[in-house]
């Protein structure tokens, strides 16, 4: 019974982690940006979903939240990342660290902004579907099952998109070798701009689902970036399958710790694994760089 509970709960938590981390890793692959405002974008989506749901109902709220995620990603790209990327005043080799710092500061601004507008009290979005379902003998909120399904649906669609459409293939190619793609005549900046939108979509969906599951507050901005960052480093920077595997390993470790030891030290064993990985295999599970 306890094992089943861990299995079900861990599956959903991991799927959510995975979805959050995939966007993060794609952005890194395609434009070489470690976006430390990642958590800020997820929380923005969650907050807008909650706020819009107050007047327009849960579903429109969720849609508005995802839209806000996309908007926030674009704002991050055009306002914070792009100006630095194309600035002639900053030396090429220093741009990475400039962008890293800029997104970190941007994350703090988002956090403070949300705290100012909505306070730092956590909010939760109403479950997309109410009620509970007995699943493998475990009384699970139906919404939680839906989260697992939606996450994998989105991941599946992403897989089809990347492997079976022209635009998707160029995104994949840009992730593998951006310079080569540019030499072949592809408009790299346009692909990069598109990827930021795709990223916003994924982070937005993850943010809204998270808010229906455990709630969100401006205080979570740092934690969410941290967990996505750990997963992506663990899985290998830039590798989507690596991120998914890492999300499941970390998700299950956390869940098992919470059930078998205590929820108070939930994150600790996973972080210990991460440190170990950095010692033994710094490129991560499936890392290329």
Partner 1 sequence: MLAITRRIATAVVLGSGALALGLGGPAQAASNKGPINIGVIAPYSAIDGASIINGAEMAVDDINAHGGIMGRKIKLFKYDNHFSATEGVRAFQRAVNQDHVVAMIGIWISEIALAMEPWSGRLKTPFIVTGAASTQIPKHVHDNYNAYKYTFHDWLNSAFLADGVCDSSHDLLVKPLGYKTAYVMSEDAAWTKPLDNEYLKCLPKAGLKVVGHTRFSPDTTDFTPVFNKIEGAKPDVIITGIAHVGLKPTVQWHDQQVPILMAGISAQAGASTFWKRTNGATEGIVTTSAAVKGAALTRKTVPFTDAYTKRFGTTPAYNAYTTNDAFYFLKAAIERAKSTNADKVVAQLEKTNYVGNIGRVQFYGKNEKYTHGLKYGPKYITGVALQWQHGDQVAIWPKKVAKSKVILPSWIKNKKHASK
- The residue ranges that bind partner 1 (CB under 8 A) are 2, 5, 9, 13, 53-54, 115, 119-127, 130-132, 139-141, 143, 214-215, 255, 258-259, 263-264, 266
In the complex with partner 1, which residue's Cβ is closer, 31 or 140? Answer: 140
Instruction: Determine the number of helices (DSSP H) and then strands (DSSP E) in the chain.
Output: 12, 2
In the complex with partner 1, which residue's Cβ is closer, 76 or 218? Answer: 218
- CA distances for 238 relative to 105, 149, 235, 241, angstroms: 23, 24, 9, 9
CB of 141 to partner 1, least distance (A): 5
CB of 36 to partner 1, least distance (A): 21
CB of 75 to partner 1, least distance (A): 24
Query: Within 10 Å of residue 189's Cβ, how many Cβ atoms?
Result: 13
Residue 242 is classified by DSSP as H
Q: What's the token pair of residue 29?
A: 């692959």
Reduced to 3 states (helix: H, G, I; strand: E, B; else coil), residue 139 is strand
CB of 107 to partner 1, least distance (A): 18
In the complex with partner 1, which residue's Cβ is closer, 122 or 197? Answer: 122
CB of 249 to partner 1, least distance (A): 17
In the complex with partner 1, which residue's Cβ is closer, 237 or 256? Answer: 256
In the complex with partner 1, which residue's Cβ is closer, 139 or 289? Answer: 139
DSSP secondary structure of 85-114: HT-TTS-GGGHHHHHHHHHHHHHHHHHHHH
């Amino acid at each position: 019974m306890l094992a089943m509970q861990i299995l079900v709960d861990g599956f959903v938590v991991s799927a959510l982690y995975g979805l959050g981390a995939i966007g993060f890793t794609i952005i890194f692959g395609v434009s070489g940006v470690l976006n430390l405002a990642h958590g800020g974008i997820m929380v923005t989506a969650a907050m807008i979903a909650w706020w819009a749901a107050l007047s327009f109902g849960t579903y429109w709220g969720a849609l508005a939240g995802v839209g806000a995620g996309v908007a926030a990603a674009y704002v991050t790209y055009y306002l914070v990342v792009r100006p630095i990327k194309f600035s002639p005043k900053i030396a090429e080799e220093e741009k990475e660290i400039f962008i890293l710092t800029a997104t970190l500061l941007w994350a703090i601004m988002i956090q403070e902004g949300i705290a100012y507008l909505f306070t730092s009290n956590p909010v939760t979005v109403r479950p997309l579907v109410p009620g509970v379902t007995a699943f493998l003998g475990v009384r699970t909120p139906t919404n939680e099952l839906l989260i697992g399904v939606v996450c994998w649906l989105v991941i599946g669609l992403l897989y089809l998109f990347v492997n079976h459409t022209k635009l998707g293939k160029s995104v994949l190619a840009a992730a593998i070798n951006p310079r080569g793609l540019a030499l072949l005549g592809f408009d790299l900046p346009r692909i990069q701009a598109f990827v930021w939108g795709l990223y916003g979509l994924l982070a937005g969906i993850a943010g809204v689902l998270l808010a229906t599951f455990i709630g969100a507050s401006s205080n979570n901005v740092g934690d969410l970036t941290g967990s996505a960052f750990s997963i992506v480093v663990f899985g290998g920077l830039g590798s989507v399958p690596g991120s998914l595997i890492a999300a499941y390993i970390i998700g299950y470790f956390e869940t098992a710790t919470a059930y078998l030891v205590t929820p108070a030290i939930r994150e600790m064993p996973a972080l210990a694994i991460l440190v170990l990985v950095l010692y033994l295999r710094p490129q991560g599970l499936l890392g290329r760089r």
